[in-house]
Structure 1
Amino acid sequence: MLGVMPICVVSDPRTQPPAHLQRLPIPHLSLSSAAPHMSVKAKVRKKFPLVCPEGDCDYILKTVIQEYEDQQNPPSGFTSINTILFGPLAKDFSETVAEGDLLVLAGFAVGRSPTVKKDGLHPCNLQLAGGDVHVYVYPASTLGPSPNKVSSRTPAVNTEAAKAKYAYVALKDLKAGTIVNVYGVVTFFKQPFRTKGTDYCSTLKITDESDVKLGCSIFSEKLEDHPQIYKTGDIVRLHRVKMQLFNGAVNGMSTLGFSALTFDGTAGSPVTPRTSSRSFHFGDEDRQAVERLRAWAAGQADLPATSAVVLSAVQPRTYFDLTCQLLAKAQMDACCTLLKVWDGTMCADPLLNVSVEQDALEGSLAPTRGRHNLVANVLVYENHVEMARELKPGSYLCIYNLHAVAQSAETPPGGGGAGGAGHLSFQLHRGTAFGRGIRVLPDDSPDLQELKSRLESLENDPSDSSLIEWSTPPESLDMDPENSLTVRTCDHTQERVTLACVKSSTPPRVSHVRVRLRSYQPESLHQALKLHCPNCKVLLDVPDEEAIASRFREALSEAGCCSEPWAFTGHLDSCEPGRQISLHLCRSVEKGTRATFEEMCRMSGVQRSMVPVRSSEGRMTLLDLSAPFLFRGPKRYYGCTQCSQVKHVELDTQAEMEANEGTIAEVLGVQPLQYVFLVKMALEDDTDCLDALLWNDAESFFCVSASDAEASQEQQDCIQQTLDKLCPPGGSLEDHPWLDLCLRSYTVEESGQHMVCHQILNTAVRRTDV
């Protein structure tokens, strides 16, 4: 008989929970499911840290549990659900329960999950607090032998899992909002890199027989949970990938329970999964799926070729992948590490020798027998330094997107040696653009076997250099490096110049440049929206809604002491220039009634046009120009205080004509202000940097009008997505795409001094890219 404590640990797995508890499968849970006799049976998938927001006893703990599939026909639907525990129960749970334990929960409440769109779990959550809650814990150690444990090098198939059946979706049939299993051929990948949080992130792009490409982002705290991809052409099987819409295309993201298998894509090679999972299902149908994709990929000429190159085939100023052995390394400074590597072939160009103090060098160059043209010096920068520090001399590596640089006789970056003109050094630049990174090759890598064979051949013939086919590495997922995310719409015939040339030239001048967007201001989109008077050229911030509401309240307060009747808001049906304005009172705004700003906003959604007016000396006039002079649906129109000559308004209920905003402004005596964008962009190329304004042509650049953006959250989101594409949040500048821009340089006078300014014009974002 089980105890009645809120948390009861059951040592004998044969012990059953109280008979009065009725089990309810997690997929069947709804907001009306909570009842004292209902229970769920689930395993703990993830337990988050205990938090205490406001005091020693105000504990909160979140855990994710998954339906315990001990039934012959388990129910379909959301099997994992967030569970929130409160108070002392949360603290006891944190100290008692571990991931993998089996739970029976009773006395819970069911609420809406606020994170369903983010985590893809059950739309409800379970909430446990108070004396009616009972948690029966069956520790994982008492549930019998765990699944067969296998190493990451020789993974074994779990015989129990082998009974499972998984459905796989073709890439052409993917839909946003679903969690699916997929197979694909890798066309691009990035090694895992550390995010600003606790996770590592890796990205890949896959395709299948439907010729549809899918980008995927994998997040996990453990490196071993990421797909073990060695080169393009590898085949991956991804389980539990959440599909979501981003920039108009469906993309995949890892979710709870994500797992991956990777296979060599070479036809005829063993179908051996690469994974760190302790158990997984892999049967004849999976083997057939891998073989089918191998055969299909072998016949596709447009699939990206491998970028692997041996040193004997390297050409200056190219990017390539190098499979090599690390002989020695040295720390040059905090941001640079030197790796001395070889692959058994001799480079056709002389190699730069970066010399360092002998005591600073870890490892030995003895295997090269002093033949220095066999040894390539690789300078590893910034975010790759952490990985380089962990490398052991003698290990075998694949270095992705390595840059062959022709050095002059000057001292190389971070090095103390020198080389003659045309000597090659190799640099692994910062960032993860184009798949840049380092991977230690496992013992079962096919590339490693080829490398070892080549190195062993040097024992008999040091000049041996087995060449393999070389091809230029892709600079991006889909596009040629010369392409950009923007297109110039001008008819100028100038050649493209550098930013250094732009800054050294005398304005006025129009230039074509190829740059990256380092940053932009303001970062908040609403602050980039301005009001501009085409008459006096004044530029104003869009009034804050609280300021407008405050002005309305002031007007209501002022009207409270008036003895004469007055009307505050009106519905404009028609007007003609040269006549007094025709104003018809709203049905809801009768003699003596007043409207707040909030009421104006509500009424404008129903009425065609709303003009805020007030009583002044027995006549109606506009409220004032610190508030909108006209409301039309979600749009608001403002007037210039300097250029407007506001007229009195007369009632005329006989008018029938419709009027546009310009006509309304004219009869009211208002000079309307125009909505515009104003964004300062920090541009940079390899030679220099400068700030440029995006203003007059901003609407053409974003393909969105400023007035529409002010009234539409959807349009604002569209612009924000564009900016995120041009200047991705986080990461380094080299992760940012190239932009082709038309720049105008001009001078302005400020405080008696002439300043050179730059403006982006005649440029638009490619709509296929955002």
Structure 2
Amino acid sequence: MPLEMLKGSLQGLKTSLPKHLQRVDLKHLRLGGDFANKYFQGAVVISYPLTRIGNGKAFFKIVLQESENSCSRTDTINTLLFGKLAEDCEKVIRQGDTMVITGFILAKSASEDGRHCCQLEIPDEAGSSIFICPKSSCTDASETIAISVAPKYTYTPLNHLKGGTIVNLYGVVKFFKPPYVSKGTDYCSVVTVVDQSDTKLVCTLFNANRDALPKIYKNGDIVRFHRIKVQEFNGQIQGITSNGFAALTFDGTVGAPVVPRTTSKLFTFTEEDKKTVEDLRIWVARNFSNSAPAADLSSIQPQMFFDLTCQLVGKAKVDGSSYLLKVWDGTKCPFPSCKVLVKEDDLEGDSVLINQLKNLTVDVIVYDNHVQLAKSLEVGNFIRMYSLHAKTQSPEDKPDVSYIQFHLHGGTVYGRGITVLPENHADVKELKALLDSLALKGYAGSESCTQEPDSYLTLGSCLEGYQQLSVTVLTDHQHFDVTTVNTILNSRVPQQYRVRAKLRKFEPKKLHQSVKLLCPQCNSLQEVPDVTELDVLLQASTTHPSPDLQNIPFCESVVWNIENQGKRYVAVHFVTRYELLQELEDSLIMIEGGTVTEILKLSKKFKGIIPVRSIEDNLVLLDLSIPFFWQGNIQYYGCQRCSHPKAVASLHALAAQQNALWEPTTIAGALGIVLLQYVFVMKFTLDDGTGTLDAYLVDSEKFFQIPASEILTSNIFQDNIERIMNKLCPTGTNPDDLPSLDCFIKSYYVKDGTEEQLSYQIFDTMIAEDV
């Protein structure tokens, strides 16, 4: 890593930067942004001692201030340097120096210190550059230090991986799942890679931006992963994304151009990297069996699962859990296929072209978790659908005739999903050439490919209820077949089912009464106290503090004398970090003697509030019938049966942790409390024509996509819930006209004293977005 001394002022340095680089300021630093062509400039206000992290790599932390005249912490950002770069910078950086940084990585800040919510990270291998202008030379011509990171990567063979390390690696894709929405908020992609050592590594990759995940299009592609974390789970080595994770993907075909696929404009690729890719291609050709069942429409067989590369010519909504894609690949399906009728106004695409291609297109029904991506596709896109099912079905009135239906079932098993292919992809170029030749010949609309009218079905049993609207979406287990209610009622327990039925009635009718508190350990339910009841409980449990404050080691405390209320005092203890007070919005406080009204006022200004009382020389939590933590308008309760409350002094250790957050789960863990969850508890009476059953919904926010904790304090959310329930079960509606619910039901026994009671519960089901 060379150190070069450059003469000149800071202004002269900035004019010498590459022309494509533009300065980015703090307010535009946002996660997911592209900063490949940006640089950040700031003055060093704090520098910490050089330290070593777990693997022995050097670590150097500084704080940069964007504006020289600002004294606000929000104008500063934590900056982390690693490796040799950290060692070199620590020798030359002094307080007041100005830094210009290029090629940085932006990550979520690990510190709750009132500074910028993100942090700059500069690994010593990222192709970054740091220019340092000493404080004394920012105004007069002097010397500026330029630290340039020469990228040099070491790649670890898969058979040498060890848990607890962060490595760079090359591999060949043996199996993958296209990016899909995880159970959190991020997108997820699962990739299994192998290399010449014949070792397999399963990698689970997450990112808030779908396009930032590796662009893998088929098994046999070659990937390069930088900074992937290796961990051991259940005796198996696996890879997961870490801060700074980056990926390149290459076509694994021998002779194809060695062009990396990536969303980043900043990456290194040397002749040595090129040779590695070409060597892997040769190994793939000799040893790797690509099992992907790729096929075109002319070669499909009934009941087969296959990958289809095609062009989208039309799309339309079918119902809440399915979507129609009209596609073609220039070849003709040899079997009569089902056509799905939709309203003309609902069908997106060129109606003239769709009519011309009617004998070459097939209708693909996309289910459940794939619907959102299907909606986002643009007509004209070239797409690849993985694990598409060519299913056969016979109509009731023609049992001797079979038709093909094309389904992309829900779930991600067998890599099921959809990917949009770029127009420069080799398979797309080949497909476009074929489609263009058909268009030139006028083949698409010719009589030569006209199929017999009875080869198409409009409506009927083969559509599996596509036209019967469902107002729900299944989030898992989409491979389950629909089971009738009558069969469920006569089946053994416990079991899980998929049912399609109508909602005849629901309880409670007053929807705010459906919100309860659930213990995740003992599964007990309890009512949420109203404000009046809570105030009575609070006054009965609290103590009135003395004007003489206790000495709390990790707090700064004050006592307020409440005016016009005699000698009533309220004590507030501000929890400090590193013996420093935090900004109001980041502060945790403990309060003695406060009322519900007073606590709610304070909760609008502080990060969180913990009600406490004094016992001798200690502060302790109140009875757990009262919320142990208040944040905004939401109160958090602990289970009185499962919790083992610790002394409030336990928060001292949490306050000393650099990365600790003042959040309900973190505080509950420190205080030995099992956190109760706000959940909706409702009883649905479901009817599918074969029978009725009562199924319970116990859900925190997944079903309605509205947090149960917000319902009690938000009229807007209450109105939304009421509107949804009126759509599911409108009053005065003919039962036959009710919408259908596609949902999962599980049966189980619940002990009621000495007896067991049969119950049914809804799970892994959510309301469709447009309900």
TM-score by length of 1: 0.45
Greater Rg over alpha carbons, structure: 1
TM-score by length of 2: 0.45
